[in-house]
Amino acid sequence: MTDFTKTRAMFHLPEGMIYLDGNSLGPLPRAAVDRVTKTVTDEWGEMLITGWNKAGWMDKPMNVGNRIARLIGAEPESVAMGDTLSIKVYQALASALEMNKPRKVILSDSGNFPSDLYMAQGLCRTLGDGYTLKIVAPEEVLDAIDETVAVTMITEVDYRTGRKHDMAAITKRAHDKGALTIWDLAHSAGAFPVELAKAGADFACGCTYKYLNSGPGGPAFIYVAPRHQAAARPALSGWQGHDAPFAFDLDYRPARGAERMRVGTPPILQLAALEASLNIWDSVDMAALRARSLALTDQFIKGVEATCPTLTLATPRDHALRGSQVSFRHPEGYAIMQALISKGVIGDFRAPDIIRFGFTPLYTSDADVAAAVDVLAEIMAKSLWDTPEFKTRKKVT
């Protein structure tokens, strides 16, 4: 059983702050400071370019990918690191569409993160020839999968409400109708156990700077099911995904397996920070993490609903439908969140009216939850949010 008091001590948590925004940016693992410093001074500083061989930099995208594979229920050698989540979404979409010709419909839902939708829209414009993105309500996804759909592109957990899709059911329906599946795990990886292989998922991708704590701009990952690895041709055919990068052939020849989804030079400093975080994750029991997450979110929902009657719960009560965040609605949600932040309770706001809180058992305690409820209750009871200062929108919400 994981001791979450011990994992909490492994993170730098600023004094006087209750941090409930790890679903947007995870805090700094204490060990990351030394790990990145070592990479900078001992490897980059002393080895310079020889670090690609001596320090094993070139192998990190697959080695680190194998460590993430455990957290998302993926097979060995099926996860590659690098680039950004949007790029990995584009790669997965392009490969899936090519594999499932002549179908031309990408199915997604209105709860998907907009960047995923933008990438799909851009790819459809590039391809032309009738390729389209179909968007339905989250509750309508299952029924919308028919014989016209080439691929479903679903974020497993809605970034606004925390609503969790049934990966197994949607994947089965898609396969029954001849469609492929892409799962965005941005709000899943590190939030609860993910079972890509068990569900039969075709592709998946995700970021690491949220629950996995790799730091701002940390690298993304892509999963390609082993059965597809020989057929999935990367549309972004970068030199790192070449079968022999240092042969410098003028023609592209994809590498074997998921490694073909590598594009550009790997971000070594960010991967070092991620490795420090994964050293913590290596000791975490995912079932225990899920149980603790549900207990924390239940505690928060109960406390807020008992003290803040004007806030409306947007997150499902049903555990099976809930990720690891809780969201409430209010017309003045932005100002309410700014008032909370001013008092040291850090969450965030998502338009048009969502105040959002992430619960990460590795460092969130029962006391954090109770204190956050008390602060929110005071703000709502006294309308402390109702000031011009808190209503003035900042660039990042």
Q: Of the residues 4, 209, 223, 390, which is catalytic?
A: 209
Q: Of the residues 35, 210, 322, 350, which is catalytic?
A: 210
Residue identified by tokens 């109708």 is 177
Residue 282 Rama label (left phi>0; alpha psi -120 to 50; beta): alpha
Q: What are phi and psi of 259, to 5 degrees?
A: -60, -20
Q: Of the residues 113, 159, 192, 359, which is catalytic?
A: 113
**Residue 210 is a catalytic residue:** yes
Tell which residue, 216, 151, 210, has the closest CA to residue 183. Answer: 151
User: Which CA distances in Å does 136 have to 106, 107, 145, 154, 155?
Assistant: 11, 8, 10, 11, 13
**Residue 184 is a catalytic residue:** yes
**Residue 113 is a catalytic residue:** yes
Q: Of the residues 35, 356, 363, 368, which is catalytic?
A: 356
**Residue 356 is a catalytic residue:** yes
Q: Of the residues 83, 109, 116, 184, which is catalytic?
A: 184
**Residue 203 is a catalytic residue:** no
| Residues catalogued as catalytic | 113, 184, 209-210, 356
